[in-house]
Structure 1
Amino acid sequence: MLRELCDSFTTRISPFYKEVIVNVKRGVRQGDTISPKLFSAALENILRHLEWEDLGVKVDGCFLHHLRFADDIVLITPNIEQAERMLAEFDSACGTNAGRV
């Protein structure tokens, strides 16, 4: 059912005051309430496979390495080297999960 909702839908744009219907071949509709839920579900699966227990900034004895809200993510690091490592690992994990986030 989700595939049917996300596969092949149309959107309307109005460049120069002339309406054009565009076939959207992938992704989810902007503003659709399912969009952040799908993003969060995919992201949760990816983040569970990353070994970031010792990365991030220590807050009350625990490492905080990211914050998420809806379809946004912020990586938290104390230095550029750790940020580069986390981005590389995140990019690799997204590739192994057959998609891009």
Structure 2
Amino acid sequence: MINLQGINRKNKHHVQYPEVPSAVKPVPHGPEVPIPEPDVIMESSSNPESNDAANSDESGAYRPVDDDQPMPLTQAELKDLTRSEPFQRVSSTVGFTHP
């Protein structure tokens, strides 16, 4: 990490950032200087052929049910939920107790 304590408008040009290969660096361009092409061709997620492969049934990806009806919790699921740590912290501040 970079220590930015004491950095202000007058001395901000002295900040040295680490060289990170995955960072997108600004590249000068204009009417005379075209936008440079990247060295590595990256696949776009908007490619229709790649979306077909991702949407196939063999992919094993999660498929939500197109049902707008709520799914009620069982009593065991509800007890597990109310015994979870985050719920206990909230319920203790509200004054709710459970058996």
Provide TM-score, normalisation by structure 1.
Answer: 0.23
| Higher strand residue share | 1
Give the alignment's TM-score, normalised by structure 2. Answer: 0.23
**Larger Rg computed on CA atoms:** 2
